[in-house]
Structure 1
Amino acid sequence: MLKIAGLILLLFSLGNLSAQEICDNGMDDDGDGLIDLLDNECSCIIKRDIIPNPSFENNSNCTNNGYNNVSNWEVSSGTFFLYSLCDPFSIEGNPPIIPTVPNGQNYIHFYIFNGNTIFNQSINGGLAANTCLADTLYANHTYSLFIKGNHGFCYNLYNSIPSITTIELFGRPLCTPNVIPTNQWFNNVDYLANIDPNWQFLTSDTFSVAPNNWEQFNLVFTPSVDMTSISITGLTNALSTTQDNGYSLFIDDLELFEILIPDTITVNTSGQFCTNNKLAVGNINLTGGTWQWFKDSVALVG
């Protein structure tokens, strides 16, 4: 009898381990001690794996220069490197300045000039990493792009490193994979001169850390139109009248999430409980569907 009871208890426990949390029933369905919206399975942030080769692990070959060897990614000018552990000298400059790889074996590296006047960009080059997405970034949806970032310097002309490093994100409605016309990829000079109006500035993020330390950028944005291409670059959207020193920008380990913003109800109350005329009226911005009340992130059943 004890063996049967133990077997039933074991099967019940295994059932809880394999169960999935139901987010609106007020119960801990998967047995992890977290109920409804308190459980990570009910998170309003959903990962979208639509960035091809997000950690730059797929590359055409391992050579001593990494120009345009990153699969699914292109650059708007020539100074763009894939760094790989398979070749420690795949970046120009002193190996000691090359930081450790945060994920896998590869990351990409390109030169950025803060103080991006059109003249500065045209002389020194505007660097941007571009890719066609596997799916669409939808208009009026909110997204968060996490990027591991780092910076350093390689050449003598980089006399100093900016105390604040900026990454900017641009988007474009149309993109054709495996076709590389000159006007398909983001070009800093064209953008500043308003030659290509299809590219739209989406957002930017900055960090201030010592060189050769990885930091996570968090780029939160809401496209105004559907986007199928993104471009990652340095400070371009904000024009500067002065030329700043350049730096090397390293990026790796891209993760894209969609932030689901649930519809909420504005509740107006009147009356008193004691006089039995308490009234709560909710105003919603949608018609149809079903609604669920929650208290402290736990569903109120009934």
Structure 2
Amino acid sequence: MLVFFIHSSISGQVEICDNGVDDDNDNLIDLNDEDCVCQVVASTSLIPNASFEDLNCCPENKSQLYCANDWIQASTPTTDLIHLCGWTGISEYPPPRPFPDGEGIIGFRDGRFSSSDTLDAYWKEYAGACLINPMQTNTFYRFKFDIGFVDPVISPPINVSLFGTSSCDHLPFGLGDAAFGCPSNSPEWIKLGEVLVSGGAGDTWINTFIDVTPDTDIHAVAIGPDCDPVSNSNIIYYYFDNLQLIDLAAFDLQMTEHLHPCSQDFTLSVPANADFEYQWYLSGVALIEETNAQLSQNYGEGQYQVRILAGSSCRVSTAYDYIKPEFFTSDTVVICSDESYTLGNRDLTTSGFYIDTLLSQNNCDSIVSLNLKVNGQSFDTIEVSIAPGESFEFGANRFSEEGEYVAAIPSSIGCDSLFLLKLIHYNIFIPNIFSPNNDGINDTFFPLSTSSEVRSYTMKIYNRWGNLIFEGDQWDGSNLPPDVFIYIIHVDFINSSSNVFSGSFTLVR
């Protein structure tokens, strides 16, 4: 057992940092105790959005890498973004399933055939990104990635190459030149490294890496095929996923998930090295006998860390927050009164809101919210407004008078639904007399209504001989002598219905 920097407590005891015991009785155990000092190393990739999950749009076709945030179409020949939210790739070159990490990958070609079946040997497709932090001169880095192979013909062995540049301003390169080739054909770019990868029989993902020690600071990278022209007689196509660029010290502490997080056998691991001593912790407390690169079992939710000892070096990973995901769904279901609906282990026959927790395919909790409606058990209320003189069809009947009406109406699932109709009239009042004598009372003629019910109206006034004497919103009598006049008023209501009202009124003075 290892003892770190040791502070003497009042009792003279010291904290042993890997036994799961509060040795110095300060209520702090193992890594939670300040006695246990060890360098915390973050294993964050310098490449942003490493698995193409952070999107600003879902791809709808090829050549849409711009939908993935932080990625740049580095070359004039365009890489393809494939994501399960939208476009899922070229049908002739299906990507291996499942994807290594998440729902997004990119596809790229090395050479192509033009419309005249001529081989473009220098057509090379690259994806590029500005690094979150620059690669430092003379620092050891590992570029780790997954590459997907379709089959031995479409995806033969390939030299995957990593290129770098001192400024993000050099992305993209070779603008407008489809035959520019690889980035290092530009003086601003250098090749950092390459690795030969074979997909064997195909339909597979290969996880591999390139170790790099740059001799200058690198601020942006491009990933794709090597610089040599291709000579194949067919299209060559590959896929990338999970592009990680981390200094090698951090790679030792990079955790890998095994199985789905909801599986009872879910565990974590870090890259194994025979020269290292390992100790795993949960919430800062040592897990006894967990001293290998991979956890032997699932200890439940919490913050996991691993400590690595190598000679006099002590390093601890940043915390991995393990929380079993929960999925929430809601649904509205309508059944007939002689039927039931099964939710979990319950057979439901009564209208209401129900919540249950079920297990999904991966053993995750799926919390289901159900709004169950049983036809015939309760009324659905409909409130309808119509103009006086209009009617409303309800079930097998039409109603024109205000009131409440009940009807059983056949539903789409084959049984009757009960509805309560509340029918009301729009409140339209048209005076039968008005007196335009400037006394402030009944000086103009117009229909009276609740402003919230009427969208607009037009009014025409005729004399007793049928001559149109006014058209507009309000009539002031036009200095005519007392008489009987005819109105025709067209009203548009807020429910998009309309009605025409006509009748007579008397002008008095």
TM-score after normalising by structure 1: 0.61
Give 1:134 deviation, angstroms: 1.7
2:76 pairs with 1:77: yes
Equivalent position to 1:143, from 141, 144, 167 = 141
Select 1:108's aligned residue among 94, 101, 106.
Answer: 106
One-letter code aligned to 1:139: T
The answer (yes or no) to whether the contact 1:175–1:184 under 8 Å persists in 2 is no
Distance 1:222 1:245, change over 3 A: farther
Q: Does 1:217 align with 2:233?
A: no
| Contact 1:171-1:202 at 8 Å conserved across structures | yes
Report the Cα offset of residue 129 of structure 1: 0.6
Kindly report structure 1 stretches of 4+ aligned residues shifted beyond 3 Å.
Answer: 7-14, 19-23, 94-98, 119-122, 179-188, 190-194, 240-246
Residue 240 of structure 1 deviates from its aligned partner by 5.0
Could you tell me which residue of structure 2 aligns to residue 165 of structure 1? 158
Aligned to 1:217, the other structure's residue is in SS state: strand
Q: Which amino acid letter does the alignment assign opposite residue 77 of structure 1?
A: T
Over the residues paired in the alignment, what is the CA RMSD in angstroms?
Answer: 3.8
Query: Does the residue aligned with 2:180 lie in a helix, a strand or coil?
Result: helix
User: Displacement of 1:185 after TM fit?
Assistant: 11
SS in 2 for 1:86: coil
Match of 2:91 in 1: 93
* 1:120 corresponding residue in structure 2: 120
In structure 1, the residue matched to 2:375 is none
Q: Deviations over 1:246-283 (max 9, x none)?
A: 422111112222135xxxxxxxxxxxxxxxxxxxxxxx
Q: How does 1:46-61 map to 2 (within 5 A)?
A: 47-61=43-57
Q: Would you say the 8 A contact 2:128–2:171 is kept in 1?
A: no
CA contact 2:139–2:214 (8 Å) conserved in 1: yes
CA offsets 1:138-177 (integer angstroms, 9 cap, x no match) = 1211110110111226xxxxx924542321000011114x
CA distance in 1, matches of 2:247, 2:55: 27
Taking a change above 3 Å as real, the CA distance of residues 213 and 185 of structure 1, as seen in their structure-2 partners, is: farther
- Say whether the 8 Å CA contact 1:113–1:234 is kept in structure 2: no
- Aligned counterpart, 1:198: 188
5 Å-filtered alignment, 1:128-277, equals 128-152=126-150, 160-176=153-169, 182-183=173-174, 189=180, 191=182, 194=185, 196-209=186-199, 210-236=201-227, 239=228, 242-243=231-232, 245-259=234-248
> Are the equivalent residues in 2 in contact too, given 1:152–1:212 (CA < 8 A)?
yes
Amino acid across the alignment from 1:82: L
SS at match of 1:109: strand
Query: Judging changes above 3 Å, is the alpha-carbon distance between structure 1 residues 185 and 256 closer, same or farther for their aligned structure 2 residues?
Result: farther
Q: Distance in 2 between matches of 1:17 and 1:186?
A: 56
Per the alignment, in what secondary structure is the counterpart of residue 59 of structure 1? coil
Paired residue total: 224
The question of whether the paired residues in 2 share the 8 Å contact of 1:55 and 1:254 is answered with yes
Q: Distance in 1 between matches of 2:50 and 2:176?
A: 18
Matches of 1:228 and 1:185, distance apart in 2: 23
Q: Specify the code of the residue in structure 2 equivalent to 1:149.
A: I
CA distance in 2, matches of 1:71, 1:81: 14
Please name the residue that 2:30 is paired with: 16
Counterpart of 1:47 in 2: which secondary structure?
A: coil
* Residues 54 and 148 of structure 1: CA distance in aligned 2, closer, same or farther (over 3 Å): same
Structure 1 unaligned blocks of 5 or more: 1-6, 24-40, 154-158, 261-294
Larger helix proportion, structure 1 or 2? 1
Q: Which has the higher contact order (CA 8 A, sep 6+)?
A: 1
Distance 2:81 2:226 in 1: 21
Q: Is the 8 A contact 1:206 1:217 kept in 2?
A: no
State how far apart, in whole Å, the 2-side matches of 1:12 and 1:95 are.
Answer: 62
C-alpha displacement of 1:297: 2.1
Change (3 A) 1:132 1:166: same
What is the distance in 2 between the residues matched to 1:144 and 1:71? 23
Decide whether the 8 Å contact of 1:171 with 1:231 is kept in 2: yes
TM-score, reference length from structure 2: 0.38
1:223 CA displacement: 1.0
Compute the displacement of 1:12 (Å).
6.3
Alignment CA distance shift 1:77-1:19 (3 Å): farther
Residue 79 of structure 1 and its aligned partner are, at CA, apart by 3.6
SS class of match (1:110):
strand
Letter of the 1:197 partner, please give it.
Answer: P
The one-letter amino acid of 1:131's match is A
Q: Distance in 2 between the 1:106 and 1:230 partners?
A: 20
Task: Report the CA distance between 1:22 and its aligned residue.
Answer: 4.0
* Cα offset, 1:234, TM superposition: 1.1
Q: Which of the two has higher C-alpha Rg?
A: 2
Structure 1 residue 297 and structure 2 residue 286: aligned?
Answer: no
Change (3 A) 1:258 1:11: same
Aligned residue identity for 1:65: N
Quick one: which amino acid aligns to residue 168 of structure 2? C
